Amino acid sequence: MARYSAIFAVTIIFCILAGPVSSFTASDYKDAISKAILFFEGQRSGKLPVSQRVKWRGDSALIDGKIENVNLIGGYYDAGDNVKFGWPMAFSLTLLSWAAVEYPTEISSANQLLHLQRAIRWGTNFLTRAHISSTTLYTQVGDGNVDHQCWERPEDMDTPRTLYKITSNSPGSEVAAEVAAAFASASIVFKKIDSNYSTKLLRRSKSLFAFADKYRGSYQASCPFYCSYSGYQDELLWAAAWLYKAGGGNNYLNYASSNQGWSQVASEFSWDNKFAGAQTLLAKEFLNGKSNLEKFKNDADSFTCALMPGSSSIQIKTTPGGLLYTRDSSNLQYVTGATMVLFMYSKVLEAAGKGGVTCGSVTFSTSNIKAFAKSQVDYILGNNPLKMSYMVGFGSKYPTQLHHRASSIPSIYNHPTRVGCNDGYSSWYNSNNPNPNTHVGAIVGGPNSGDQFVDSRSDYSHSEPTTYMNAAFVGSVAALINQGKVEQSFQMPQLNKTTLYDRQSTKNISY
């Protein structure tokens, strides 16, 4: 009986791994990445450039910083509100830069590399203005609590543009280190096309890293909207890894090596928890011969094992339709983050001639890992039980009631009359009609644990987009543009010859 139970378990796992074969082509993935990058133009704050392609947006927040005589115009609104949160903004830029660094050929083949570089520069320009001294960084513009009481276009915004900053007396190592990571990664992007800008970014990155490390303290200024749960050690390792990769010097690799005891096994990669990203970057250095970094390689393996269906150490379950499900609030942020890392780590392993990752009694080849990551991208694009895309404007069926102020209120060019704080709620937020502006490329929070999705503007946990979701998706879909290198569906992982899956090792698998 036990033998048949084990065989049944293996069969179930195979069904999960095999899944439906994707019908998406390379041109579909090119379309998806172009829209994912376009999304950032709809999130812009400040004076819009002549090259602006999202025509329903207008200039906004043109006096940001004025109350303290500093220029904080520009940057990005992080989600469906009108606040500029520096921490998630910087993380989004690091992810966009990571994609540009690792997949320039693929992104160029979609004619999107220039647009991606512009998206990165729009954010890094803002962050350089926010970094006014070696120990002062402005981290937020706008009062989140007050902003969330209003439903108005950014072009009409009249809520307080309160400023928040970190200093040596009021530190925030997470945000300072993340901005350092953003500058270091972006310096690689611009090294060959604007060497002066690249040098400037790297210099600022070093300054911010020193600030984050010397004045250690956890960042809580953007709570309750962005609270630090994982602490600042992950950001310090993440930033050090990027500074080394950007050519900052061996001292940053030595820093990571000396502090590898900080590294923790993670099952998510998000704006709060960067361990898996740092581990991926540093595992590459270990595989390139830096023998004192083995813990990062082991932890990167463990991250993979925590996600892969069929792993004996799986921590994140999947929905019945096969979607990774970390938690209910904007779950697709964790899906896109995990998927990007899985693709990146597979690339690291392949470059080092490694076949895959062993998780207890099962070995996942890099092909298995990439195929699972691909299944997550395809789910988001429409290969799911509802046959709908969770990217606005992709395919024929997608969310129409985005929880997004600018998208849900008619453009200032079509409706020039000011829409006030309460008017937005009464006239537009509570409407059952589709948003008047299609925010092309926006990825929403996604379905619930049962693969169901209610297209409702009020359901922000599932219908609100964020910059960091889109940024991670750019890195994920870029890996698929040359999809001939990625299997269309899963193959069975290699089992230990003496051990089939027993009841204990399959108890956490979602069927």
Q: Catalytic residue positions? A: 403, 455, 464
Task: Calculate the CA 189 to chain-centre distance.
Answer: 18
Alpha helices, DSSP H only, in 69-193? Answer: 86-102, 104-109, 113-130, 144-147, 173-189
* φ, ψ of residue 48 in degrees (nearest 5): -75, 145
DSSP state of 51: T
Alpha helices, DSSP H only, in 190-262? Answer: 195-214, 233-245, 250-258
Name the nearest CA neighbour of 327 among 234, 230, 448.
448
Residue 159 CA neighbour count, 13 Å, CB half? 26
* Site of tokens 């992982």: 493
The amino acid that residue 374 corresponds to is K
Instruction: Please give the C-alpha separations between residue 184 and each of 192, 206, 428, in angstroms, as whole numbers.
Output: 14, 8, 41
Q: Which strand (E) or helix (H) includes residue 301?
A: helix 294-307
The per-residue DSSP string of 341-379 comes to: HHHHHHHHHHHTT--EEEETTEEEEHHHHHHHHHHHHHH
The amino acid that residue 208 corresponds to is L
DSSP state of 428: I
Joined together, the tokens standing for residue 370 give: 């990439």
